[in-house]
Amino acid sequence: MIKKIKRLHKGRVDIRSYDRKKCIDNKEGLIIIHDNKKMTLTPVQVKTKIVEKSALFTSKIGMEDYYLYSYKWNPDLNQE
C-alpha cells in the first residue's frame, strides 16, 4: 500500500487505523511518501514500529471512525 502524507507532526507520520488494518490483513508492506521522500515499512514493522496511538476520531465524511497510528519518520537511504 502506498500512502502520501502532507505533513509531519513531531517527526512522525500518522496512518489511519483502517489503512493499517488493511495492510496487516493483506500481509503487505506500507510505503509512506512525504516531500518526495519515501519510507518503507515491512508487514512486521507496520505492526510493531508504532510510536503512539491516538484517541478515536469521528470521520467527518461519513467513513468509519478511526485511530491514528504514529510511526517515526525515517526515510529510506536509497531513494529511487
pLDDT at residue number 24: 92
Q: Is residue 67 part of a domain?
A: yes
Q: Is residue 61 part of a domain?
A: yes
pLDDT at residue number 64: 84
Of residues 63 and 13, more confidence is placed in 13
Its pTM stands at 0.85
Q: How many distinct structural domains can be found in the chain?
A: 1
pLDDT at residue number 48: 92
Full residue range of the structural domain in which residue 25 is found: 2-72
Instruction: Supply the DSSP string of the chain, one letter for each residue.
Output: -EEE-S--BTTEEEEEHHHHHHHHHTT--EEEEETTEEEEE-HHHHHH-EEEE-PPBPPSSSS--B-EEEEE----SS--
pLDDT tens digits for range 23-74: 999 999 999 999 989 999 999 999 999 999 999 999 888 778 999 999 999 9
Q: Is residue 17 part of a domain?
A: yes
Cell numbers given for 68: 491514528
pLDDT at residue number 60: 84
